[in-house]
Amino acid sequence: MAEISIDINRNESFTAVTIRGDLAEGELTSYLSEYYSNGPTDNLLIDSSEGTWTNIPTSAFERDVNNGKKYSKRGKSALLFSNTADFGLGRMIESFTNIANYDTQVQCFRDKEEAIAWLKSPLQQK
């Protein structure tokens, strides 16, 4: 079970979700469902640099992406990973959001400063 914290800055329309430890199936989904139901910010950073997603089956990611489409809105979500296996899972999630035609732009990163710079940059036209 992971430790998950959410820091919302409405003035800058920025949310940081930090994951520490082994993320279990459904854990992040429950946090994000609550976050999205309370009015999400334009920019979301999911920082897993101190956590891992490798215990979650890939089918769960596809299901969660498809179920989460209803929350997709104009904005950006950066997924930050520190290891290769989790980064690969993140790229798979990124692909699932592209296939599902999410309004939210999703991109994976290994470097936090790059992720934040991307979140602060203008939205790309689809």
Q: Under CATH, what is the fold of the domain 3-120?
A: Transcription Regulator spoIIAA (3.30.750)
Rounded to 10 degrees, what is the CA torsion of 76, 100, 62, 22?
Answer: 0
Please write the tens of the pLDDT for every residue from 38-94: 888 999 999 999 999 999 999 999 999 988 888 888 899 999 999 999 999 999 999
Instruction: Give the SS3 label for residue 29.
Output: helix
Cα(108)–Cα(99) distance, rounded to whole angstroms? Answer: 16
* Average pLDDT of the residues in 25-49: 87
pTM, to two decimals: 0.92
Domain boundaries of the chain, sorted by first residue? 3-120
pLDDT higher than threshold 90 for residue 123: no
Closest among 45, 5, 32, 3 to 20, alpha carbons compared: 3
